[in-house]
Amino acid sequence: ETGVTQSPTHLIKTRGQQVTLRCSSQSGHNTVSWYQQALGQGPQFIFQYYREEENGRGNFPPRFSGLQFPNYSSELNVNALELDDSALYLCASSLEGPTPGNTIYFGEGSWLTVV
């Protein structure tokens, strides 16, 4: 039990639609990251939020966007879904201070299938 919960656990969307995935981080964790994990591959860093501001981004297009809220919850939004967006989306929270690199706690993920 990592204290990080994600919803929904599974969903199916049609190409072109929009999706919002939600994450509730561990209480007190000021940093949340989102990852995309395709089947049989390692997680790919999408972006990170620290105190409600995006402070790092991977190689994902602008149609991937996010929000972090003061109550330690966050969202990942994906617009104009493509078939290749089908993957497990993982939320990870941590408590970052002046020296980054603390333990990262992953949620169980949201399985997205785009048809």
Give the footprint of other proteins on this chain (CB under 8 A): 2, 33, 35, 41-45, 48, 50, 55-59, 90, 96, 100-109
Shortest Cβ 45–other proteins spacing (Å): 5
- Considering beta carbons, is residue 14 or 98 the nearer one to other proteins? 98
Distance CA 86, CA 84 (A): 5
Nearer to other proteins, 2 or 73 (CB): 2
Number of CB atoms found within 10 A of residue 16's CB: 10
Nearest-angstrom CA–CA distance, 115 and 98: 43
Task: Please state the closest distance from residue 7 (CB atom) to other proteins, in A.
Answer: 14
First to last CA, the chain: 32
Least distance in angstroms from the C-beta of 91 to other proteins: 9
Nearer to other proteins, 44 or 65 (CB): 44
> Smallest gap, in angstroms, from Cβ of residue 14 to other proteins?
25
For other proteins, the closer CB: 110 or 114: 110
Do 87 and 69 form a contact (C-beta atoms < 8 A)?
no
| Full 3-state SS string of 29-68 | CCEEEEEEECCCCCCEEEEEEECCEEEEECCCCCCEEEEE
